[in-house]
Every structure is written in structure tokens, then in C-alpha cells.
């Protein structure tokens, strides 16, 4: 492996940055919600304290393949998110390969798949209901998510991340970015699309039977999802030119601004029903995504 790949994987935006950033982004989410509800909110290091406390707890032991699978799903989610974050071309633009955006999309989808499998593996009725809800919403959301990414790729005439990342003057690029932003609340299970983890209805959904270290790993995976998804949008918005340190700062600032924006929106809205959430993505958001894709394809054909 070359030096730039090692730098992205282990330093920035890889492990050394991503794990502390995941706790920081989760703190930002909780703090924004607390402020909207006129509460003080947690201290800065509370997500880290929660992780350490959960990781050190003893939990009832499980036996057989079920115990291995319940630990496998959150571990796969963490590994996929670290890999996805490391692929983001924040500093070095010369790396990557043709079509690496497709690999990034696949990595971003693994936590949702693992979340669904965790619900069915748990043997809990609440877990299975949450898994079914997550699966249905994921299908509806991914139609818009994939169309938005394809729209950007068609607009920029490439599926290489290093080539279509960065701010663009093309309207199709920004419509695609907006479509991705619409999908992030569903992927992060935020209001108004938190039907799969509705505490008042199904406790913690697919994670109802989780506790201790396994739950701590799930919490870390959720934080890394924040970093990966907001970071993906950030590289599509910030300018390509500039010093490496300026790009790094912009990456963090734009990502955290998204955290505050999405958290504030989640706190200001109520939870939609599953039918309402699916209707939103398959009707209004999907229509927008299809029209954006057709417009981008038409412009490309003309050029």
C-alpha cells in the first residue's frame, strides 16, 4: 500500500480521525436536540463515556451461532464505515479507481443490511418488527439515494469519486447533493424517519436484545455512519482547489454543519408512520430524483 492510502486509512479521514469524530458528531446531535427542547444537553465527552461504560458491562451470555452473529453484525458495520470514510478524497485526489463510487455506495449500505439481520437474529418480536420496517424504508430510500448519485455521475461523466467530488456549477450536481441529503435522515434513523427504532412502539427495534460490548459497537457504528454520510456530502460541496489543511478544516466544518442541520430538523419534526415515510420517498423525492436524472442525461446527450 502506498503512503497516501495508509494516511487515509489510519490517520485522516481514517481511524485516528473517524472514531473521535463519531463521538463528537453524536454529541452534536444530542446537544442540538437538547437545545431545541430547552435542555442543557450532555457534556462533550458523554458519548465516549457511554461507549466505555457499555463496553465494560457484563451481559447474559449467549451460546452457539446466534451469539457469534449478534457480534458479527455490528463489527461488520464498523469495518464497512471505516473503509467508506477512508475512501473519501479529502486531501489527496490522485488515488482511487474508476467506479470507486459504486464501492462506496455498497459500503454505505452494509450497516443498514446488518441492522436488519441483527433484528431477525435476535429472536425478539420487537427486533423483527424493527427489521421489517428498516428493510421497507431502506428500499424506498435507496431508490432516491442511488438515483441522486447516478445523476451526479452522469452530470460529471464519471463514477470516480476523485473526479465528481468538489463544488460544481452544474445544477444537476446540486440536485443530486440535495437528494442525498434527503436520504440521510432515513439512513441514520432520525425523525421523521425513525420508524425502525421507535422507542414508544418497539423499544429499540432490532437492537432491543443488545447490551454491553455489542451495543457499544453498534453505537460506534452509528457515529461512524454520521461521519461517512455527512463526509460524503461534504466532499461534493467543498471546492477542489486549496491547501490540504484548508480542505481538512472545510471537510470537518461542512460535515458538522450537516449534523446540526439534520439534528435540528429531527427535533422539530414528529415521527412519520411507515406508510407515510415510504410515500414521501416513492412519491415526492423519487419524482425529483427521476427528473434530475433525466435532465442530466439529456444535457450529457446534447454535449
pLDDT digits (tens, 9 = 90+) for 24-70: 999 999 999 999 989 999 999 999 999 999 988 877 777 778 888 98
Query: Cα angle vertex 222, ends 73, 207, to 5°?
Result: 55
Q: SS3 helix, strand, coil % of the chain, rounded to 5?
A: 75, 0, 25
pLDDT value at position 81? 96
Number of domains in the chain: 1
Asked whether 147 and 292 are in contact (CB, 8 A), the reply is yes
Closest CA to 149 of 277, 257, 289, 256: 289
Phi and psi torsions of 283, nearest 5°:
-100, -75
**pLDDT, block means (10 residues), the chain with 303 residues:** 69 89 96 93 95 86 81 95 91 67 94 94 88 92 91 86 79 88 94 83 83 92 96 90 84 96 92 89 84 78 65
Residue 66: per-residue pLDDT: 82
Question: Residues 24, 16: contact at Cβ < 8 Å?
Answer: no
Q: What is the pLDDT of residue 302?
A: 66
Q: Are 277 and 192 in contact (CB under 8 A)?
A: yes
Q: What is the pLDDT of residue 95?
A: 61
Q: Which domain holds residue 200?
A: 3-302
Amino acid at each position: 500500500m502506498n503512503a497516501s492510502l495508509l494516511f487515509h486509512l489510519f490517520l485522516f479521514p481514517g481511524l485516528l480521525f473517524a472514531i473521535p469524530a463519531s463521538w463528537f458528531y453524536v454529541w452534536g446531535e444530542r446537544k442540538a436536540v437538547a437545545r431545541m427542547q430547552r435542555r442543557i444537553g450532555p457534556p462533550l465527552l458523554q458519548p465516549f463515556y457511554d461507549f466505555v461504560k457499555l463496553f465494560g458491562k457484563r451481559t447474559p451470555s449467549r451460546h452457539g451461532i446466534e451469539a457469534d452473529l449478534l457480534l458479527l453484525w455490528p463489527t461488520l458495520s464498523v469495518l464497512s464505515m471505516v473503509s467508506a470514510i477512508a475512501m473519501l478524497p479529502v486531501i489527496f485526489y490522485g488515488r482511487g479507481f474508476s467506479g470507486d463510487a459504486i464501492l462506496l455506495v455498497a459500503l454505505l449500505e452494509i450497516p443498514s443490511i446488518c441492522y436488519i439481520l441483527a433484528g431477525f437474529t435476535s429472536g425478539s418480536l420487537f427486533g423483527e418488527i424493527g427489521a421489517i420496517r428498516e428493510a421497507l424504508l431502506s428500499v424506498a430510500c435507496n431508490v432516491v439515494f442511488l438515483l441522486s448519485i447516478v445523476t451526479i455521475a452522469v452530470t460529471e461523466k464519471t463514477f470516480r469519486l476523485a473526479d465528481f467530488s468538489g463544488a460544481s456549477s452544474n445544477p444537476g450536481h446540486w440536485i443530486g447533493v440535495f437528494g442525498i441529503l434527503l436520504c440521510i435522515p432515513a439512513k441514520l434513523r432520525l425523525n421523521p424517519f425513525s420508524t425502525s427504532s421507535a422507542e414508544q412502539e418497539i423499544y429499540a427495534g432490532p437492537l432491543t436484545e443488545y447490551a454491553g460490548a455489542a451495543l457499544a459497537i453498534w453505537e460506534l457504528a452509528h457515529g461512524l455512519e454520521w461521519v461517512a454520510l455527512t463526509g460524503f456530502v461534504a466532499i461534493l460541496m467543498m471546492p477542489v482547489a486549496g491547501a490540504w489543511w484548508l480542505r481538512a478544516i472545510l471537510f470537518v466544518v461542512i460535515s458538522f454543519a450537516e449534523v446540526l442541520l439534520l439534528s435540528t430538523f429531527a427535533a422539530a419534526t414528529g415521527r412519520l408512520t411507515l406508510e407515510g415515510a415510504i410515500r414521501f420517498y416513492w412519491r415526492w423525492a423519487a419524482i425529483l430524483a427521476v427528473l434530475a436524472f433525466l435532465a442530466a442525461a439529456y444535457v450529457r446527450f446534447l454535449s
